[in-house]
Amino acid sequence: QVQLVESGGGLVQPGGSLRLSCAASGFTFSNYPMNWYRQAPGKEREWVAVIGRTGAYTSYIDSVKDRFTISRDNAKNVLSLQMNSLKPEDTAVYYCKASSFESWGQGTQVTVSS
């Protein structure tokens, strides 16, 4: 079955950087676009970014454009999210998800605070 394991979260000061990773298994990773979502306390889960099967196509929610970069390594079945210039409003649990599947991982907590 689809398994997604997120890692790389933590506590960072405003303006700092983090790199999230998602290890995928149980499906042919290279056949599916991959997404990052996040859920802040008391808010609905929201979509953050998507990357196409080869990595040539990417798209982002407006609030993270020019700060976050989604990437993938199809040889290693790993999805990444490089997050720069972090803001307190980026605080959330971050999840990866394969398009066309309903499975979610446990998420990784990102806290941006001084």
Q: Per-residue pLDDT tens for 44-53?
A: 999 999 999 9
Q: What is the structure's pLDDT at 59?
A: 98
Q: What percent of the chain has pLDDT over 90?
A: 98
Q: Per-residue pLDDT tens for 56-93?
A: 999 999 999 999 999 999 999 999 999 999 999 999 99
Q: Per-residue pLDDT tens for 7-18?
A: 999 999 999 999
Q: What is the structure's pLDDT at 63?
A: 97
Q: Which residues pair with 21 in a beta bridge?
A: 7, 80
Residues listed for the chain: 114
Q: What is the structure's pLDDT at 21?
A: 98
Burial class for 41, CB neighbours closer than 10 Å (0-12, 13-18, 19+): exposed
Region at 76 (left for phi over 0; alpha for psi -120 to 50; beta for the rest): alpha
